[in-house]
Structure 1
Amino acid sequence: MIGRRRRAASPALDARSRLWVLAAAASGLLPLLLQLPGTTAVAVAVIGALSALVSWKRPIPLVLRVLLAIAALAAVLWAAGPRFGRDTGCALLAAMLAIKPTETTGLRDGRSLVGFALFAPFAAFLLDQGPMTMALGLVAVLCALVAMLRLAALESGLLAADSTSIGRLGAWQIGRLVLMGIPLALLTFWLFPRLGSPLWGLPDRAIGRPGLSDTMSPGQWIDLLADDTPAARVVFFGPTPRPSQMYWRGPVMAEFDGRTWRRADWPAAPTPAPVTRQGPRYDYQLDYEPTDRRQLIALELAWSAPEGTTLSADYELSAQRPLAALTRWRLQSQAVATFNPQPRAQVLRQALQLPPGFNPRTLALGSQWRREAGPQGDAAIVQRALAWIGKDFAYTLDVPLPGREIADEFLFQTRRGFCEHFSSSFVILMRAAGIPARVVTGYVGGVRNPLGGGYWIVRRQDAHAWAEVWLPQRGWVRVDPTAAVAPERIYDTLEDRAQAEGTGAEGLIHMNRYAQLSDWLRRNWNEAVLGFNADRQSRLLESFGVDRLDQTKLGLLFALAFGTTLLGMAWLLARGEREADPLLRQWHRLGRRYRRFGLQPAASEPAIAWAERVALARGGSGDKNLELISLSQRFAQARYACAPADVRALIRDLRRHRP
């Protein structure tokens, strides 16, 4: 009974206030839905729309709401699978927000929904920190402010008194709040002391982001090769390699079970394998998009591991923390003349192993080539395989999944595929011929964006797999069997598919220009916002001749600037607080009309006393003087005596009165 009395005491939402509350909830939910998997996002959006429509007149019974919440929880957990990550938590938040309108009928319910909706755009930043998410989050906050202002007017009764004036005042108040909040936000962003490394890490995502993995199985890369979003952006300082030389090295895979390639599970080596280098030395900055994994890439071969990373014996670069956000690395790389010419025997044995019972035709062909080439014919066997590929094989993305004998099917039947097929079958053939070989994954090439001084975009569709063979006196040598395909035998590429979908040459050029501008804007956002770390914060005032700011100096500077700003805001708010009441605002305007006669009210002068003083000064019993006295009495009763009054009529009469 107590709960019923409390609910009854809460005013019911009128139609327009309810629309504003639902709009605030929808705008808060939108940036979060854009970061969730498509099926989950569509399901949550449909649930939210149906919840708002079905419960427009009255709330859904409690039993049905509980069942709906359980169903939403089960659906989200089923879509996420056995893992629970931050995207799972965000999906649960979205689902709960979608069914919240089913119990939103009163004023208190509306405030609860608006407050709950503000969690959604903040949760979206756990999944993406791009400019679109920021813009949609700001829109959600503005909608929430409008909804809260309307609910406050509804509770005070002012909405019924003067809805037009409330709307104008609301726009002014919200604009003023935003303008005052911007300096506080900028001060917090620039001066609040940042930690060099986080105290804790965010949980992984239940659904992984696209990117390089430490395994490679048939068909695993087809979605990655169709993804044209950036994987990294690179700025070169000095010499720049040709795109055909840009092999961005990732995981090196030496273990093979007949279907899946995996990284070798070696103990961590104290130092990378010995190499001798040749050619120009490349100095570059790598901005790597988040993948929630630890694998990094580097132009073959990196000189050393930057702080926060490790370099394996095979020159695989790995981060010490999962890459859950955009990261920036300064690297140097150089081509090699020899690469580990005297490896451990265990490494070579691993690079020769093949599972028994797989690919018998490939094993027989490798043994035949070994007999024909002789014990010292490793290089000749490699060249023979590449010549065979260039003559008889074709590149295409339109291939079915192979069966059990993946190398036999590719080499002797289909002879069509993409890098995943070429590299895997080539390494199996080399091992069958007695040549140590392994698969290397990463990216190849890049697209130069001329905007902003020029930088290179490595897209996820540039993912590539190639081979490394071990040759005496030279060590590991990169061999790209996919690149050996003759140009006239390259079919069904990504460009072909884009043209088949109706995008002609002019459309591609236009799309590329748009993509260049869009990516340049995103890169600037990364530079100015996401890349503003603790090191850049400590050098914030270097241009003013101030040395690095430590945590103590930053804290003091932040406290001083923030306190000063708060004092200024408090003064402005105190000055404008009295203008929030439309009745009081019209009374002040009335007083300003008498200012030209020198009869404006004093700061502490009561309303009736001021009206009597004006009447005495202007001749006593004139109609305007009597009208002013009557208005002052009505104002005092409505404002201070809590007497019943027609506030709307009083506001209208105050607006019309002229000296």
Structure 2
Amino acid sequence: MAEPTSPTLSPSARHWTLASAALGLAPLLLQLPGLLAAIIALVALVTAAAARQRVLPAVLRVALVLCMLAAIYWQMGARPGRDTGCALLAAMLALKSSELRSLRDARSMLGFALFAPFAAFLLDQGPTTMALAVLAALTSLLTLQRLAHAEGQAPSPRLGSALRGVGKLVALGLPLALAGFWLFPRLSEPLWGIPDRAVGTPGLSDHMEPGQWLDLMADDAPALRVQFFGAVPDAEQRYWRGPVMTRFDGRRWEQDDAARHRSPAAVTHSAVRWDYQIDYEPTDRRQLVALDLPLQAPAGSSLDGAHSLRSTARLTTLTRWRLQSSPVARYQDALSPYQRQLALQLPAGFNPRTAALARQWRSEAGSDDAAIVARSLDWIRARFAYTLETPLPGRDGVDEFLFDQQAGFCEHFSSAFVVLMRNAGIPARVVTGFAGGVRNPYGNYWVVRRMDAHAWAEVWLPQRGWVRVDPTAAVAPERIYDTLEDRLQQGGAATFQSRWLQLGQASDWLRRGWNDLVLSFDANRQQQMLRPLGIDKLEPSQLIAVFTVFALATLGWMAWLLSRGERERDPVLRAWHRLGRRYAKLGLARDSAEPAGRWAQRVHQQRPDPALLSLSSRFVLARYAGADVDLTSLLRDLRRHRPSSGASP
């Protein structure tokens, strides 16, 4: 027996279906590389327009699929990952409209489109993604409702009526969703393995080489948010310590692998203490930062031999860390022979002019290491400039920077300074991280952006140990030419940026609230939520039991409401019964076998109310006599009617 043909899609239903699919695709496109997202969006528009009259030929559809695969490979390479899988999903959804002809096709496309917002949550769980996903889901429900009416050859409902119907569906499922969020045990690992992202989120790396930092420093997205409890460090103390680089091959700085497994050196801290909490944005890496220097590593992290914090797990989601830091008064132990050798290591045959200058300074300063450090900073202050417009260095990049260009940014200053110090026989190393931060007045917290990424130096001085030296900060203010802030303000953007600064801070405050309320709701927060109920701690099995009981109760309530709706499909009958319950509260309930008109007469005798008599007459005519009654006005009047203030029985 042949399967019945699905009805053809009307233009209105087609438009609703395409709009719903576009809304489902939007949050996913926002998480993909910009150029690839633009290509997918353009292909989706062209495909929908081309397939408006007829289904595209199979050969053309195959060609479009191959083109999309080529675009994904061009932007992401061949390495599989979350980004690649999500891009493939977005590309297939963009081409789905090429076969959109019938109601069955529309339902298939809507079901496919709803996968896109869920895929976007693998890449971002922010409020924007959530808002777009909710909008896409609601629009899809409205579209499915219209498709159901079209299949039954019934007129499409008005938008207000359709929204009320969808709202009821959402209200039915919301308690179960909240129960799952609050009560289902929080797991330390996902239920399934997800490959690493093909396109990593910018973050601090364990190496530094020329030109590498421009992409990170050009990103003004938040890297971390900091809440201080008590004293706030001054601007010159807000150095957020990250990876420490000691190995140098003439071009590239790298961490010492042995330092990761070595305990941090003993130090004497000053009396100043900073107590703070960091909300660290995901980076798909393990490197953390802390104010210079952290007193100890929080749970889930470790301190290496250079006092650099590292997470034991990849930072694939928003994480929260409670820390304490204090400035260093002095290091208690001397450098070991291995550490001294490493901090003086230089590749042979590189940067001869820098080596000659360092030898000259050493002969003039004698054994006074601090004098050499001060002399180098005076030289930078007198001769050097800060700019982002720097060419890539050649073989002797430090010589080129110190003697030819004498202009660059923190990557150049820190690297050249450490090479100069090592040539002078002073142990030195490069420290990377962030510097500064902007206070958000709405939430009284500090935002450190990715563009605040910074590199500075540490030198080993007798009787003091490692001392922080920031050669970039020594540049005279009048020779700071080209900064990231300048680039962001080009083309009249300065006025716009100033005008919307407060709006941006308010938006970030809302984002932080979302992070605190939703994304950081972990197992500890779950247990804290139950303590006001007298429950100190529940094991995962107990939480599952509580969730199961609540879920069964919720499902029972949903089933009762749905069955009630099945018994009373007629909205006029439901409104009449609701009116009867209002009178039942006054002791005037209708008997089960009592006709509507007789009940209204009985109520009228005890509480005179001509409006009730009129309503009962109109209800009987509409419900049982099949008379031509204005159902819209009858339904409105039934819902609005309230018992009169007549005498009680």
TM-score (ref. length: structure 2): 0.87
Q: Which runs of 5+ in 2 are unaligned?
A: 582-588, 595-616, 636-649
Mark the CA change 1:118 to 1:579 in structure 2 (over 3 Å): closer, same or farther.
Answer: farther
SS in 2 for 1:252: strand
Of the three residues 328, 343, 358, the one matched with 2:335 is 343
AA aligned opposite 1:64: L
- Work out whether residues 395 and 490 of structure 1, in 8 Å CA contact, stay in contact via their aligned partners in 2: yes
Match of 2:611 in 1: none
Match of 2:461 in 1: 471
Of the three residues 156, 160, 164, the one matched with 1:163 is 156
Of the three residues 54, 60, 73, the one matched with 1:58 is 54
Per-residue CA distance 1:589-619 (angstroms, 9 max, x = gap): 8999999xxxx999899xxxxxxxxxxxxxx
Of the three residues 177, 180, 205, the one matched with 2:172 is 180
Matched, 1:227 2:227: no
Of the three residues 202, 206, 218, the one matched with 2:194 is 202
Match of 1:323 in 2: 315
CA distance in 2, matches of 1:567, 1:539: 28
Deviation at 1:566, TM superposition (A): 1.8
Of the three residues 213, 217, 223, the one matched with 2:205 is 213
Mark the CA change 1:276 to 1:415 in structure 2 (over 3 Å): closer, same or farther.
Answer: same
CA distance in 1, matches of 2:193, 2:157: 49
Match of 2:437 in 1: 446
% identical equivalent positions: 56
- Work out whether residues 466 and 479 of structure 1, in 8 Å CA contact, stay in contact via their aligned partners in 2: yes
Please, which moves more after superposition, 138-147 or 255-264?
255-264
Mark the CA change 1:653 to 1:482 in structure 2 (over 3 Å): closer, same or farther.
Answer: closer
CA distance in 2, matches of 1:629, 1:511: 61
Deviation at 1:404, TM superposition (A): 2.4
Q: Which runs of 5+ in 1 are unaligned?
A: 606-624, 636-649
Matched, 1:15 2:11: yes
SS in 2 for 1:443: strand
CA distance in 2, matches of 1:459, 1:128: 18
Match of 1:490 in 2: 480
AA aligned opposite 1:337: A
Per-residue CA distance 1:218-267 (angstroms, 9 max, x = gap): 11112222222111111111222112101110001111111111111216
CA distance in 2, matches of 1:592, 1:236: 55
Matched, 1:513 2:517: no
SS in 1 for 2:390: coil
SS in 2 for 1:231: strand
Per-residue CA distance 1:123-146 (angstroms, 9 max, x = gap): 111111110100000000011101
Of the three residues 35, 40, 51, the one matched with 1:44 is 40
Structure 1 residues 322-471: aligned runs within 5 Å? 322-339=314-331, 341-374=333-366, 376-452=367-443, 454-471=444-461
Structure 1 residues 246-265: aligned runs within 5 Å? 246-265=238-257
SS in 2 for 1:330: strand
Please, which moves more after superposition, 81-90 or 30-39?
81-90
Mark the CA change 1:181 to 1:408 in structure 2 (over 3 Å): closer, same or farther.
Answer: same
CA distance in 1, matches of 2:30, 2:415: 36
Please, which moves more after superposition, 308-317 or 492-501?
492-501
CA distance in 2, matches of 1:629, 1:508: 66
Structure 1 residues 629-644: aligned runs within 5 Å? none
Match of 1:104 in 2: 100
- Work out whether residues 591 and 601 of structure 1, in 8 Å CA contact, stay in contact via their aligned partners in 2: no
Deviation at 1:426, TM superposition (A): 0.5
CA distance in 2, matches of 1:487, 1:567: 70
AA aligned opposite 1:471: L
Deviation at 1:539, TM superposition (A): 1.4
AA aligned opposite 1:59: V
Task: Provide the aligned length of Structure 1 versus Structure 2.
Answer: 608
Match of 1:548 in 2: 537
- Work out whether residues 587 and 654 of structure 1, in 8 Å CA contact, stay in contact via their aligned partners in 2: no
SS in 2 for 1:328: strand
Mark the CA change 1:148 to 1:266 in structure 2 (over 3 Å): closer, same or farther.
Answer: same
Please, which moves more after superposition, 350-359 or 127-136?
350-359
Deviation at 1:632, TM superposition (A): 6.7
Deviation at 1:491, TM superposition (A): 1.8
- Work out whether residues 146 and 157 of structure 2, in 8 Å CA contact, stay in contact via their aligned partners in 1: no
Match of 1:620 in 2: none
SS in 1 for 2:378: helix
SS in 2 for 1:310: strand
Mark the CA change 1:560 to 1:590 in structure 2 (over 3 Å): closer, same or farther.
Answer: closer
Match of 1:271 in 2: 263
CA distance in 2, matches of 1:19, 1:652: 34
CA distance in 1, matches of 2:409, 2:66: 45
Mark the CA change 1:168 to 1:223 in structure 2 (over 3 Å): closer, same or farther.
Answer: closer
CA distance in 2, matches of 1:306, 1:407: 38
Mark the CA change 1:220 to 1:591 in structure 2 (over 3 Å): closer, same or farther.
Answer: closer
CA distance in 1, matches of 2:630, 2:497: 65
Deviation at 1:560, TM superposition (A): 2.2
Per-residue CA distance 1:518-541 (angstroms, 9 max, x = gap): 111111111111111011101112
Per-residue CA distance 1:303-323 (angstroms, 9 max, x = gap): 111111111011111111110
Per-residue CA distance 1:564-595 (angstroms, 9 max, x = gap): 22222221111123555xxx556888999999
- Work out whether residues 430 and 436 of structure 1, in 8 Å CA contact, stay in contact via their aligned partners in 2: yes
SS in 2 for 1:313: coil
CA distance in 2, matches of 1:246, 1:201: 38
CA distance in 2, matches of 1:368, 1:385: 12
Matched, 1:31 2:9: no
CA distance in 1, matches of 2:215, 2:466: 30
SS in 2 for 1:241: coil
CA distance in 2, matches of 1:250, 1:657: 71
AA aligned opposite 1:21: T
Match of 2:557 in 1: 568
Match of 2:639 in 1: none
CA distance in 2, matches of 1:603, 1:163: 36
Structure 1 residues 55-134: aligned runs within 5 Å? 55-134=51-130
- Work out whether residues 344 and 428 of structure 2, in 8 Å CA contact, stay in contact via their aligned partners in 1: yes
Mark the CA change 1:151 to 1:407 in structure 2 (over 3 Å): closer, same or farther.
Answer: same
SS in 2 for 1:266: helix
CA distance in 2, matches of 1:520, 1:245: 24
Deviation at 1:333, TM superposition (A): 0.9
- Work out whether residues 341 and 472 of structure 1, in 8 Å CA contact, stay in contact via their aligned partners in 2: no
CA distance in 1, matches of 2:318, 2:578: 57
Mark the CA change 1:199 to 1:107 in structure 2 (over 3 Å): closer, same or farther.
Answer: closer
SS in 1 for 2:327: strand
- Work out whether residues 586 and 651 of structure 1, in 8 Å CA contact, stay in contact via their aligned partners in 2: no
CA distance in 1, matches of 2:290, 2:532: 32
Mark the CA change 1:57 to 1:312 in structure 2 (over 3 Å): closer, same or farther.
Answer: same
Deviation at 1:13, TM superposition (A): 0.8
- Work out whether residues 469 and 477 of structure 1, in 8 Å CA contact, stay in contact via their aligned partners in 2: yes
Match of 2:514 in 1: 525
SS in 1 for 2:326: strand
Per-residue CA distance 1:343-364 (angstroms, 9 max, x = gap): 2212221221222232111111
Of the three residues 485, 491, 498, the one matched with 1:501 is 491
CA distance in 1, matches of 2:632, 2:470: 83
